[in-house]
Amino acid sequence: MIGRLNHVAIAVPDLTATADQYRHALGAKVGAPQDEPAHGVTVVFIELPNTKIELLYPLGDASPIKGFLDKNPAGGIHHICYEVEDILAARDHLTATGARVLGDGNPKIGAHGKPVLFLHPKDFNGCLVELEQV
């Protein structure tokens, strides 16, 4: 059911320093910071030949990234995102297997302008999983 790895999201305590590190030390193609007020994050997209990295930095006091960085001050992998063709069919299949969908269970429009859902990390070995319909 799941397709390509769309991105790995890393929460970072210093967006500029990390973007510079990926640009200069790792030689990656790094985009400009984008504020995503609906998600409480500022995002930098890094394009790799086979997937993307998303650097996440808190935007606003209610940011979902804030608590993560409080627990992981040096930053860390926040979630991984798999592509699906039909997000509602994927959700229904997953909930039938016992997996929990976060929030009200309905897709929201994600940072790429496409429908996304998040699955409970306790159901996936401690890994927050995002599904994105492509």
Contact residues for Co ion, defined by CB under 5 A: 9, 81, 130
Least distance CB 83 / Co ion (angstroms): 11
Strand 41-47 vs strand 34-36: parallel, antiparallel, or unpaired?
Answer: antiparallel
Least distance CB 51 / Co ion (angstroms): 12
Catalytic status, residue 54? no
Least distance CB 13 / Co ion (angstroms): 18
Residues contacting 102, CB < 8 A, separation 6+: 117, 118, 119, 120
Which of the following is catalytic: 36, 83, 85, 130? Answer: 130
The whole-angstrom separation of Cα 10 and Cα 100 is 22
Token representation of residue 105? 């269970």
> What ranges make up the beta strands (E) of the chain?
5-11, 29-30, 34-36, 41-47, 52-58, 76-84, 108-109, 115-119, 129-133
Give the residue with the Cβ less far from Co ion, 98 or 103.
103
Least distance CB 55 / Co ion (angstroms): 11
What 3-state class would DSSP assign to 8?
strand
Give the residue with the Cβ less far from Co ion, 27 or 79.
79
Give the residue with the Cβ less far from Co ion, 53 or 81.
81
Give the residue with the Cβ less far from Co ion, 9 or 94.
9
Active site residues per annotation: 130
